[in-house]
Amino acid sequence: MKPKRSMVLAAACAVGLGTVTFFHAVSAQEAQQEQIQGQAEDQQEITDCAAPISKSQVQYKLVVNCDRTISIEASEVELDLGGHTISGPGCGQNEPTQSGIKLNGQSHVRVINGTVNDFFIGVEIDSGDHNEFIKLRLVDNCTGIALFGSSKNQLSFNDISRNDTQGVDVRGSGGKGADNNEITFNVIAENSAIEFHKSFGNGGVTIGKNADGNLIAFNTISRNLQSGVILAEAEAPNAKKNIVASNIVTQNGGSEHGRAGIAVTAGNTENFFLRNTALDNMPVDLEEQNKDCPNTWKDNFFKTSSDGTTCIGPPLDPP
């Protein structure tokens, strides 16, 4: 079942968000599959992965495994991987531009039900808005999925694990923000676990510069080498009004490069961290680098933090 915005709103209200405004255009996303199906002129099987997807209003279904990138060059399409696998040559063997599935400027694309592994980036979205990525296994890439200058996308019910540098990377690019994306109900685990990459990988979910109003909720984020969730870049424009809520964040940061289960670097402000369970992370469960408490921390269950009780508040045991 696809998550409804009402579920997220109810959870947010339950932890006292109050007057915070949500800008996510999910009502449109909830109708996206029906829109594509209703407008689709035909259905097409993919047997040759080298050919780009270039025709709109078509439901494509992969019927073979692939050993190369699938490029989506049309908007308003659905790509059902049909349980098949798109495989690359291996993270360390890829050019930095090589991705398993790539969108560049497309919108209203839906990709479901399959595996992408061993690419530099498993799924890459550049300047693409209103897209959905559901029930995918993004494993053993350098980065599992990257949203560069892309807004109002949905990532749900995916397994994003064992990627060498990080699981999810969200950041502005080319002067375009990465705003109002939803990252919900995913398993994000054991990323940045390779010795070669551990000095610069961020682990689970990275929210970079010029990325505002994103929602990271109801995920299980565990055993990532550096941080479970990090608002990472302190250079302007900083990340603001992101919501990190009701995630289970455990056993992250298991190296000398470990930061925290949930970490906020200095300069990132007006963000909300609500009712997360962050336990057994190293060196601490929660880290806030801003000294003037510009972010809201409320009802999180944790044992250790970087600032005592100044901004984050006292430790709370889970119910």
pLDDT on residue 139: 97
Residue-range domain boundaries for the chain: 37-302
pLDDT on residue 84: 98
What does the pLDDT look like over 259-286, one tens digit per residue?
Answer: 899 999 999 999 999 999 999 999 999 9
pTM more than 0.75: yes
Task: Assign a CATH topology to domain 37-302.
Answer: Pectate Lyase C-like (2.160.20)
pLDDT on residue 37: 52
Mean pLDDT by 10 residues, the chain (319 residues): 47 46 44 52 87 95 96 97 96 76 97 97 97 98 96 98 95 95 97 56 88 98 94 81 98 80 94 97 93 94 84 87
pLDDT on residue 95: 65
What does the pLDDT look like over 172-221, one tens digit per residue?
Answer: 999 999 999 999 999 999 998 554 444 445 789 999 999 999 999 999 99
Read out DSSP for the chain?
-PPPHHHHHHHHHHTT-TTPPP---HHHHHTHHHHHHHH--EEEEE--TTS-B--SSEEEEE-S-BSSPEEE--SSEEEE-TT-EEE-S-GGGS-TT-EEEEEES-BSEEEEEEEEESSSEEEEEES-BS-EEEEEEEESSSEEEEEES--S-EEES-EEE--SSEEEEEE-BTTB---S-EEES-EEES-S-SGGGTTT--EEEEE-TT--S-EEES-EEE--SSEEEEE---SSSPPBS-EEES-EEES---STT---SEEE-TT-BS-EEES-EEES-SS-SEEE--SS--SEEES-EES-BSSTTSSS-S-B---
